[in-house]
Structure 1
Amino acid sequence: MTAQGEVLVRVEDVHKHFPIKQGIIFKKEVARVHAVDGVSLEIRRGETLGIVGESGCGKSTLARCVTGLHPVTRGRIEFEGTDITTLSKDGLKRFRRDVQMIFQDPYGSLNPRRRVGSIIGDPFAIHGIADGAERKKRVQELMELVGLNPEHYNRFPAEFSGGQRQRIGVARALALKPKLVVCDEPVSALDVSIQAQVINLLDDLQDELGLTYVFIAHDLSVVRYVSDRVAVMYLGKVGEAAAVEDLYGTPRHPYTAALLSAASVPDPDEAERAERIVLTGDVPSPIDPPPGCRFHPRCPKARERCVAEEPLLTVKGADAPDHVAACHFPVEPGERLAREHAAIEQESTEPELPEVSS
């Protein structure tokens, strides 16, 4: 899918904050976790948008906001031109027929006390689409579609392997023929050989059913293989977004360059020549994120401007129109950051919360 494809989902300045309360009887909000803090991006019909970043950067929270599982604190999310943040309960139920999710844990996402046929058939029951023999027929068709034996309709999840359980999750997500599927690290809990099978299955299903994916993962090689475009998140914000070859070929944000330097390289000669960018310090607390650029306490290119002024997500130099980065001093092609260190000290990563009497 090209960059000019039709926009299926538009995320505009979305914030999601989780309140922290203290007190025994009268609970008072004393702080907030800024899980997602001003994210804007587009998801185009038929493409795969990869979202990467360290644990706690907000990528899974953003995915749950897009699927309507988390109400947003502020901002707007449009799906086919409709703002889903203002939908009624009935409107959300209709919306969720078009947006489904594949969860990370193939063991925890399936009820061990229910049979597989019942689990996959839940979407039909919830939306009143089919029952009885018709529902069983559709469930068995879905099982065959994802590579499971339809005769195992009455088995329990414990009778399947991890890869087979994830296929059950895929079948459940596809039951209502959604337009958007959010894959929240769908292969991270699987063996490497099984990962390849599930990824190839998702790729085949996208071609066959015309699906649009949001693919969240830590493995940068997996993201490169499956994605058309990639967004890199850090501490609740998007630091860089671009077509996959542009981002992997010429990263502009120092954080993106550091992530890519940590990725495994299959060619031993190339791996020996590559230099690892080691970031100093810890990830700041999302309760009290640093001012200006949130990456500046760990950035090897940070200057005083990075503390005083938050960078905008814009095109740098002669980059493609859809290659944007939020950095005042973007990485230049061929620039080596491995021997540089953060120019600005990080004072604290864990703010103290005020005491509240009960």
Structure 2
Amino acid sequence: MSDVTGGGDVLVNIEDVYKHFPIKQGIVFQREVARVHAVDGVNLEVRRGETLGIVGETGCGKSTLARCITGLHPVTKGRIVFDGTDITELGRRQMKTFRRDVQMIFQDPYGSLNPRRRVGSIIGDPFTIHNIADGAERKKRVQELMELVGLNPEHFNRFPAEFSGGQRQRIGVARALALRPKLIVCDEPVSALDVSIQAQVINLLKDLQRELGLTYVFIAHDLSVVRHVSDRVAVMYLGRIAELSDGETLYERPRHPYTNALLSAASIADPDRAEKRERIVLFGDVPSPINPPSGCRFHPRCPKAQERCTVEEPVLSVTSGDPDNHITACHFPVEAGERLAEERATIEQQSTEPTLPSA
């Protein structure tokens, strides 16, 4: 395996991690008949103080990987080393200590908050669970957290139903910040919000990162959102990493055909550019993670696939001409001369416009 990081102070080291979910049949005597290959041999590093974006289509394994990082899912195989400690070997008591340093912001602000409990109790749960504060001290800390995320501290006694969607997600952020964790995993934290509210929550996360020195793993399927928050971006497809690079390099020069297709589908604020853009359409369905394809897992849908792709699994490596921190798992990556479909369409449109005579 090639280097997938390029240095830096590493907080989380994900080493050859697999997560398979068994499919069983039978009522009394169950037997395993198949496995869902949710995460299949992922190697990543998360550097202290950075935001690592993980993107891909629904079902690619990004949320499962996030839950493995936080210890919510035990890994099938591999190691996850957090700040020098292999969390896959921790017992129940040690895991409780680990959870103080790693927190999660969930996707649905409506489903992740108990509607029968008051906001002050929800945000204050970490203090109670870890025996850190109670009574007046706990109330004070809860109100400080609410103020930190832009909520009125006097509303600590209200129920979640009395808040908007964006405010509920701020409550989730406050709960995640309660114990001042070293790492926060954001599992599609803005996908359920309106576009205008998305920008507010993203700006809040960036401000908190600068102020508190936080490290984020930001999960999303929308590349346009990830671009604004991530220092590096990993693209996942069917349980594996397809491409990894710093944000600007990946957006300006994608090398994997799958990344190229995702970028052609990303939303654009400029309506004129969006109208001229040519979409790269991927034909066929995403293969089943129960029986993934041999060789490159993207080859059944890839416009550049050749016979080699069907039998030989590509390895994450640096393509000739790319910087060391830009790696791709592809036998036939997008060449430097190939532009995104959006750029090709713009050039073609310009070439058909009449040329005005010089004065």
Distance 1:57 1:22 in 2: 25
Task: Name the residue aligned to 2:190.
Answer: 187
2:289 paired with 1:286: yes
Unaligned runs of 5+ in 1: 339-358
Instruction: Please say if residues 279 and 299 of structure 1, whose CA atoms lie closer than 8 Å, have aligned partners that are also in contact.
Output: yes
Q: How many residues align?
A: 337
Task: Name the residue aligned to 1:205.
Answer: 208
Task: Name the residue aligned to 1:258.
Answer: 261
Q: Secondary structure at the match of 1:318?
A: coil
Instruction: Please tell me the residue identity of whatever aligns with 1:278.
Output: V
Distance 2:324 2:17 in 1: 22
Task: Name the residue aligned to 1:109.
Answer: 112
Query: Which of 80, 95, 98 is 2:83 aligned to?
Result: 80
Instruction: Please say if residues 48 and 227 of structure 1, whose CA atoms lie closer than 8 Å, have aligned partners that are also in contact.
Output: yes
For residues 63-108 of structure 1, the C-alpha deviation after alignment (integer angstroms, 9 at most, x for no partner) is 0000000000000101111110001111111111000000000011
Matches within 5 A, 1:239-250: 239-250=242-253
Q: CA shift at 1:273, angstroms? A: 4.2
Task: Name the residue aligned to 2:55.
Answer: 52
Matches within 5 A, 1:231-242: 231-242=234-245
Distance 1:117 1:266 in 2: 38
Query: Which of 306, 314, 317 is 1:303 aligned to?
Result: 306
Task: Name the residue aligned to 2:74.
Answer: 71
For residues 97-143 of structure 1, the C-alpha deviation after alignment (integer angstroms, 9 at most, x for no partner) is 00000000001100111111110000000000011111111010000
Task: Name the residue aligned to 2:280.
Answer: 277
Moved more, 37-46 or 21-30: 21-30
Task: Name the residue aligned to 1:343.
Answer: none
Task: Name the residue aligned to 1:348.
Answer: none
Query: Which of 166, 171, 175 is 1:168 aligned to?
Result: 171
Task: Name the residue aligned to 1:30.
Answer: 33
Q: CA shift at 1:198, angstroms? A: 0.6
2:217 paired with 1:214: yes
Distance 1:134 1:287 in 2: 50
Q: CA shift at 1:58, angstroms? A: 0.2
Distance 1:150 1:266 in 2: 35
Task: Name the residue aligned to 1:350.
Answer: none
> Identity of aligned pairs, percent?
81
Q: CA shift at 1:217, angstroms? A: 1.1
Q: Secondary structure at the match of 1:239?
A: strand
Q: Secondary structure at the match of 2:185?
A: strand
Unaligned runs of 5+ in 2: 342-359
Q: CA shift at 1:337, angstroms? A: 8.0
Distance 2:86 2:32 in 1: 29
Task: Name the residue aligned to 1:97.
Answer: 100
Distance 2:219 2:284 in 1: 25
Q: CA shift at 1:333, angstroms? A: 2.0
Q: Secondary structure at the match of 1:105?
A: coil
Distance 2:256 2:49 in 1: 27
Distance 2:44 2:244 in 1: 9
Q: CA shift at 1:24, angstroms? A: 2.3
2:145 paired with 1:142: yes
Distance 1:158 1:273 in 2: 43
Instruction: Please say if residues 300 and 337 of structure 1, whose CA atoms lie closer than 8 Å, have aligned partners that are also in contact.
Output: no
Instruction: Please tell me the residue identity of whatever aligns with 2:78.
Output: G
Q: Secondary structure at the match of 1:29?
A: strand
Instruction: Please say if residues 52 and 233 of structure 2, whose CA atoms lie closer than 8 Å, have aligned partners that are also in contact.
Output: yes
